[in-house]
Chain A
Amino acid sequence: MIRLYKRPAPSRLWIFLAPLVAMVLTLLSGLILFSLLGVPVVEAFYAFFIEPLTSVYGLAELGVKAAPLIMIGVVLSVCFRAGVWNIGAEGQFILGAICGAAVGLSLKEVEAFWVLPLMMLAGIAGGMLWASIPALLRTRFNTNEILTSLMLTYVASLLLAYMVIGPLQDPFGFNFPQSALFHKAATLPVVWPNTRLHLGFVVALMLVGLVWLLMSRSMLGFSLLVTGSAPRAGRFAGFSVNRSVWVTMLVSGGVAGLAGLFEVAGPIGQLLPKISPGYGFTAIIVAFVGRLHPVGVLFAGLLLALSYLGGESAQISLNLPVAVTGVFQGLLLFFLLAADVLIHYSLKPVTTAPAEFTGLTNTQAQHVANSEQGAP
């Protein structure tokens, strides 16, 4: 029989190894899944993981998909490290898109450089507004932000569905549920000519650097880490938990809103009833796979973006349902959570033989003391 033994300190090695192990296990499970579904395994793998990366178009699309994932993932990782469970980034993404689009559509006569920045501000404001509701409820009424932020995601989807048949519907759109296309000044510039790779990817990279700096060097970042890791120690030091909730919620909501605006003002070009393949939820996986660290999130964002591209590619070449993407993402997160056990525990077979003993060293005596105080 195998038991878990708590490590004296978290294993740094496994912090990095766990995502790799999880990836390998996900690929293996994918292999089994494909063969069970009767799909040619080699072709499927090629279509899923290699083909998207073999063309300029594919690489650019990887950036397009990765941009919102990295943007949201990096701010969610700040939330989670601060102990704030913002699960509603998807809703904040949608609200940002709605608010930004509303500004863009209402200025459709104006061809000026400030239209797009104004839309971006509106997007940020929309996301912040949506995130401020769970923040207010948590800080004022002690209401669990997981459930409220998630409920607001459903509300946001319905609001979007209403907007594209109501106030923001294209008057010349034959009654289709969609808005008019954005005019030139309201469209996001492309940073790689002849592809769809847009400004959002650059913003995502800048955010990675900025968040890294803030979390590792600033008192603000430090206070978030303290209140997340040990709220009582935070209060003792004078860092308010409520302040952490507000800061992380507003920042993550604002960034998610900006990502939503980028999505509609860039790749999509108009408001549709469905503007996201679940970026806000996938970003949760991105944050975890990226070890809640900005640089990790960058790589995880690219990996999960590949799972979207692969799903599309496998749909085209092998007629597999797009839902395969969701399965892969879920499996990856499962395996990661399972592999994470090795960060804090070591697996050892149970032995009944008496342990070899050569006297109690200082550190051993400490463990006795610890175990005497802490063991149940």
Chain B
Amino acid sequence: MNAEMLLLTALTIITAATPLVYAAIGELVVEKSGVLNLGVEGMMLGGAVSSFALLHLTGNAYFGILGGAFAGIFLAGIFAVLTLGLQASQVATGLALTIFGTGLTALLGKSLVGVGHSGLQKLPIPFLSDLPVLGRLLFQQDVLVYGSFLIVPLVAWFLYRTSAGLTLRSVGDSHDAAHALGINVLRWRLLATLFGGACAGVAGAYLSLAYTPMWVENMTAGRGWIALALVVFATWRPGRMMFGAYLFGAISILQLHGQAWGIRVPSQLMSMLPYLATIMVLVVISRDRGKIRKHAPQSIGKSFYPTT
């Protein structure tokens, strides 16, 4: 193995990690507000098909990204109406969102199967992109990869350094106490849920615009669920989440490079790795109840409705 191969591997890890970063950081904010949206997979599919359709219609990938975000917001909006407005079970509604999203995107995307596009342009950053190794790795990427580098520190800053972030965390910790302070619990949860939808939509957009510039039915292949697991793995902390996303990116591209590295295992079995790894990390994290207790939003998954 030579340096060039290592660099290529690192580049593919970034590609595999980027959609996870978006989906997981969105869900992290949602869960910090006390909402558990299990529909990430469905929202990602919605983002993927809409962004590809918009790319197909307009020829402009940036419209695609916007379309993906709005598709995610739309689907998260359905979830919000049901769980925040009508007090439906968050677990059941999230599952419904994934089932619905899978069916709807398969239906809407029927005519897009087999269509090819060039996908998202790389945008080398002047000067920085000329750096050896790092330049190619970090500064010759597309706008969504740059965005994924920025969004995690931004969310961390928002959550832990701003008044609004504190309010959001308080809503997730105890909606009754927040309500008693005059905080509009449902509005904060709505905003967080919609933000999570936008992020999941962008994650999907990255898949269909950059990762493999095309639309395939069910193309997320469980990444939405892995993102959910990542949030637990990170014990709701953005920095650890970023680390986890890259770890999973690395595991999931093992199957691509496995053959080249001389690993003689059938590809189907290699493909199991990300899922098995997810289970492993969930076990490791869940064992430590103290850590979960310390960082988990206390009112996650519980419905709230002001009784006036």
Which residues, 253 to 283 on A, are CB-close (under 8 Å) to B? 281-282
CB contact between A323 and one of B103, B271, B272 (< 8 Å): that residue: B103
Residues of A within 8 A of B88 (CB): 337-338, 340-341
- In the complex, whether A187 has a CB less than 8 A from a CB of chain B is no
Residues of B within 8 A of A142 (CB): 286-287, 289
- In the complex, whether B176 has a CB less than 8 A from a CB of chain A is yes
Minimum CB–CB distance from B181 to chain A (whole Å) comes to: 11
Nearest CB in chain B to that of A339: its residue: B86
Q: How many residues of B contact A (CB 8 A)?
A: 52
Q: Are A158 and B306 in contact (CB under 8 A)?
A: no
Q: Are A371 and B307 in contact (CB under 8 A)?
A: yes
Minimum CB–CB distance from A181 to chain B (whole Å) comes to: 23
Minimum CB–CB distance from A284 to chain B (whole Å) comes to: 6
Nearest CB in chain A to that of B286: its residue: A143
Alpha-carbon gap, A325 to B106, bound state (A): 10
CB contact between A334 and one of B78, B176, B221, B269 (< 8 Å): that residue: B78
Chain B, 266-283, contact with A by CB distance < 8 Å: what is the 0/1 string?
101101100110110011
Residues of B within 8 A of A331 (CB): 100
- In the complex, whether B93 has a CB less than 8 A from a CB of chain A is yes
Residues of B within 8 A of A323 (CB): 103-104, 106-107, 110, 217
Nearest CB in chain B to that of A324: its residue: B107
Residues of B within 8 A of A326 (CB): 99-100, 102-104, 106-107
Query: Which label, helix, strand, loop or mixed, suits the secondary structure of the A interface?
Result: helix
Which residues, 240 to 280 on B, are CB-close (under 8 Å) to A? 266, 268-269, 271-272, 275-276, 278-279
Given A147-B229, A147-B232, A334-B82, A376:B287 Cβ within 8 A: no
- In the complex, whether A152 has a CB less than 8 A from a CB of chain B is yes
Residues of A within 8 A of B82 (CB): 334, 337-338
Q: Are B306 and A85 in contact (CB under 8 A)?
A: no
Minimum CB–CB distance from A211 to chain B (whole Å) comes to: 20
Alpha-carbon gap, A151 to B224, bound state (A): 11
Question: How many residue pairs between the two chains, A and B, have CB atoms under 8 Å in the bound complex?
Answer: 148
Q: Are A162 and B266 in contact (CB under 8 A)?
A: yes
Given A333-B100, A341-B87, A159:B225 Cβ within 8 A: no
Q: Are A330 and B101 in contact (CB under 8 A)?
A: yes
Residues of B within 8 A of A144 (CB): 232, 282, 286
Alpha-carbon gap, A222 to B140, bound state (A): 62
- In the complex, whether B95 has a CB less than 8 A from a CB of chain A is yes
The winner among A151, A158, A375 for most chain B CB atoms within 10 A is A151
CB contact between A152 and one of B179, B275, B305 (< 8 Å): that residue: B275
Chain B, 80-92, contact with A by CB distance < 8 Å: what is the 0/1 string?
0110001111011
Q: Are A150 and B225 in contact (CB under 8 A)?
A: yes
Residues of A within 8 A of B59 (CB): none
Residues of B within 8 A of A376 (CB): 175-176, 179-180, 306-307
CB contact between A147 and one of B86, B99, B278 (< 8 Å): that residue: B278
Minimum CB–CB distance from B127 to chain A (whole Å) comes to: 43
- In the complex, whether B210 has a CB less than 8 A from a CB of chain A is no
- Per CB-CB distance, the 10 closest pairs between chain A and chain B, nearest first, are A326-B103, A330-B100, A323-B106, A162-B268, A376-B176, A337-B88, A333-B96, A323-B107, A341-B86, A143-B286
9 contacts between A and B (CB under 8 A): A141-B287, A143-B286, A150-B225, A151-B225, A154-B222, A158-B271, A158-B272, A321-B107, A326-B100
Q: Can you name 13 extra interface pairs (CB under 8 A) apart from A151-B229, A154-B272, A330-B100? A: A137-B282, A143-B283, A144-B282, A148-B282, A155-B276, A159-B269, A285-B96, A285-B99, A333-B95, A334-B100, A337-B93, A338-B88, A375-B307
